[in-house]
Amino acid sequence: MKETWRWYGPLDQIQLSEIRQTGAAGIVTALHEIPYGEVWQRDTIAERRSEIKAAGFEWDVVESLPLHEDIKRGTGDLASLFANYRQSMANLAAEGVHTICYNFMPLLDWTRTELNSPVANGGTCLRFSAFRMAAFEIGMLGRAEAENDYPTEVIAKAREWFSASSDKDQKELLNSIMSGMPGAYDRYDIEGLQRALDTYRGMDAADIRANYQRFLNEVISTAQDLGMRMCVHPDDPPRDILGLPRIVSDADDIAWIMGVNDAPANGLTLCSGSLGANPANDVVEIARTYSDRIHFAHIRNVRKDPDGSFEEAEHLSGDTDIPALCRILLGEEKARKSAGHPDWKIPFRPDHGHELLSDPEKKTFPGYPLIGRLRGLAEIRGVLHALSA
């Protein structure tokens, strides 16, 4: 498997020269400065790729070529948005970048309620607290329907937290929930988020699926023609939040996605952390079932609580059997190599990581510290070497 590292380009506090010291061979990045829906021009792509190449890397995966919210809602000038997306794909392919990771999460990307939750041996991690999320939805957003989305005991704890919370506590919670949106992404205040949620009012999972199917129909044939691989990232967390339906959360969702357009270019980003946060998911079995459609992997681990909360665990010590997962990915690579595929290696990156030692001084994007991810990469590297021996 090819070791890669997520880098946020000029927005990142971590330099390519530092990433070089991790031993990673490839870069996963995007043109985060470009607003959603606009074309990624070839000269801009070429400039970023040249910068990456000069530092000794290949640009292996685009994460992400984001989708405009109108595509997810099925509103607005869709013809122009799809045309722009296809042109960006063509420009990327012309510059030798052939793998695109994307997601179909309405409005928000990954969502956490705490960015600096203490861990046992020192350092901090990202955490999703069910009662804090419920407090946000019910107390701060005033979304009464949210009471139907959480267990009674979680609602009670949410009310207790909200009653005792200060303005500072509530601002920190809002900031945490908005922090999964890097680059030029919108960040909402409470009123702005309420307005944005209203644009999805009345839409259910079937509506979102229909809009997703339209997107696949518009871009997958282009990907096939360009020799590109599209790989959807699972929802994070893998459950409905804010009343927004999420449709890439479990094995049934993945089966629908892979079946509704069975072209090889329509593939999966196997994120062991996102899928692992859903107690119903057997991440290893999902990897086994869809191994031939995995174009990219995020390897991380989570530790779940019975109330629906979870936190980022050490890469090898959470709820998912990472060595078993790596064994499946290595087996799939072997099959691809035997079949003569020239690009048989599956790129992976150590996803998220604890903030350790001097990481807080860097002020990196939440979840993307240097030392914490380096530790994760080293641990995964050891697993892969042992399994390949």
Q: Which amino acid is at 196?
A: A
DSSP calls for 306-363? TTS-EEEEPTTTSSS-HHHHHHHHHHHHHHHHHTT-TT-PPEEEE----B-TTHHHH-
Any catalytic annotation for residue 98?
no
Using CA of residue 258, residue 259, residue 261, residue 262, what is the dihedral sign? positive
Are 126 and 274 spatial neighbours (Cβ–Cβ below 8 Å)?
no
Residue 351 is among the residues annotated as catalytic for this protein: yes
Task: Point out the catalytic residue in the list 150, 352, 354, 359.
Answer: 352
Q: Is 354 part of the annotated catalytic residue set?
A: no
**Angle (CA) 91 97 102, round 5°:** 90
Q: Which amino acid is at 166?
A: S
**What region does 242 belong to: left with phi over 0, alpha with psi -120 to 50, or beta?**
left
Catalytic residue check, 326 = no
| Residue at 65: amino acid letter | L
Closest of 293, 299, 216, 296 to residue 255, by C-alpha: 293
Of 271, 290, 295, 315, the active-site residue reads 271
Catalytic residue among 98, 295, 298, 354: 298
Find the catalytic residue in 98, 233, 295, 315: 233
Q: To 5 degrees, how large is the angle CA 205–CA 232–CA 68?
A: 70
Is 368 a residue of the active site? yes
Please pick, among 85, 200, 290, 368, the residue that the annotation labels catalytic: 368
Is position 298 annotated as part of the catalytic site? yes
With beta carbons less than 8 A apart as the criterion, state whether 220 and 85 touch: no
Annotated active-site residue in 236, 250, 351, 359: 351
Active site (catalytic) residues: 233, 271, 298, 351-352, 368
